[in-house]
Chain A
């Protein structure tokens, strides 16, 4: 009986030392956390473009003040909602996503409004911003997808047997995904 316990302990030690157990969890955890930084960068990039966009539109569309204010408000809300990369719980991710989705929808309303202003649409500065915005939305969707993939790999790893036991001991917790909510899975329409 004593021998059996010894073997059991030996087995657990070997399995957690092998790259399949604890080490893989750490690796997957780091991967997801690192990918989170890329997601934040992409969103940050979009946040940085918006003041420029608003200024370009402002000159030609004085009467659209309320929409421009909405965009700036949504932007400040989105940029102030940051979360700690060490705590990517489903609730935190949902909170972050909600703030960013608010900005996405304000932005798409602005771009729809701009369609009525031929002056803006032919403005080279605006066309360039539009190209940058489009590229930024692509970056966001790429990084989000990679984040979701990284989280999926991590979550399914820590939740499957026998890793789930080790994950429990060392507090590896489930991370959140980006959800495709209506209106957010589609980048704001910037084609005219």
Chain B
């Protein structure tokens, strides 16, 4: 009887897992980069210059300004697309929410500056709107995408200067509860199956269970596999997005 309740508990924990939703947006870049030119508008040296500038800024202040250039919005509204993308990638640090996304959709001739929750106070919508109207749009109209982005990021950096500081080695993640549940579930099922198959005396009261628990069994070495699953970021430059959150602040415009 104890066995069947153990089995039930195992099944129960396996059933109660949260679902993951898939979205229609570009995947987070791997290795992580702050400048993501999916439309191939910038040349290699321009891309590197922006990446170095933003990555250094991230290192010294922990604020993350990301640039994403896409060919088309596929019918989405630019602000909605930007917020969902920024949220999905987790631009900025978790808790500080100090991320900014500059999204440019080349064929739609639309652009957006989205500000994370923590940045809204330093880059209000009106300011974001002026950066778009007075800095980005005039440059973009002349085809000077790099200049527009370079100047816009400089303004944003100036606005954020002194507001956030980097904390060295602050990144640590909690152990996921769901993983524990899965392991427990599998564990109980294995115990159930083993004690049933091994003993053959199904109705027995307490003894078989004690016996199983006391037995050191060989499957143990396989637990090690779980630890290798974690994602590893970091290859010289930018260390990865920090899980910042966005609430729709910012501005959009066209050129």
Question: Is B83 engaged at the interface, CB distance under 8 Å to the other chain?
Answer: yes
- A interface footprint on B4-39 (CB within 8 Å = 1, 0 otherwise): 010011001101100000000000000000000000
Among the stretches B44-52, B55-63, B218-226, B242-250, the one at the interface with A is B242-250
Contacts of A11 in B (CB 8 A): 5, 8-9
Given A10-B5, A141-B248; A134-B83 close (CB under 8 Å): no
Within 8 A of B (CB), among A1-56: 3, 7, 10-11, 14-15, 18-20, 24, 38, 42
Q: Are A135 and B249 in contact (CB under 8 A)?
A: yes
Q: Are B9 and A24 in contact (CB under 8 A)?
A: no
Q: Are B252 and A134 in contact (CB under 8 A)?
A: yes
Q: Are A142 and B247 in contact (CB under 8 A)?
A: yes
Chain A residue at smallest Cβ distance from B254: A191
Given A18-B13, A19-B177, A134-B125; A7-B247 close (CB under 8 Å): no
For chain A, give the interface size range: 20 to 34
Question: Is A81 engaged at the interface, CB distance under 8 Å to the other chain?
Answer: no
Q: State the Cβ distance, A93 to closest chain B Cβ, in Å.
A: 20
Chain B residue at smallest Cβ distance from A149: B21
Q: Are B83 and A142 in contact (CB under 8 A)?
A: yes
Contacts of B9 in A (CB 8 A): 11, 14-15, 18
Q: State the Cβ distance, B22 to closest chain A Cβ, in Å.
A: 14
Question: Is A139 engaged at the interface, CB distance under 8 Å to the other chain?
Answer: yes
Q: Are A7 and B251 in contact (CB under 8 A)?
A: no
Q: Are A24 and B125 in contact (CB under 8 A)?
A: no
Question: Is B74 engaged at the interface, CB distance under 8 Å to the other chain?
Answer: no
Supply 7 A–B pairs (Cβ within 8 Å), ascending by A: A20-B12, A20-B15, A128-B126, A132-B124, A135-B250, A135-B251, A142-B83
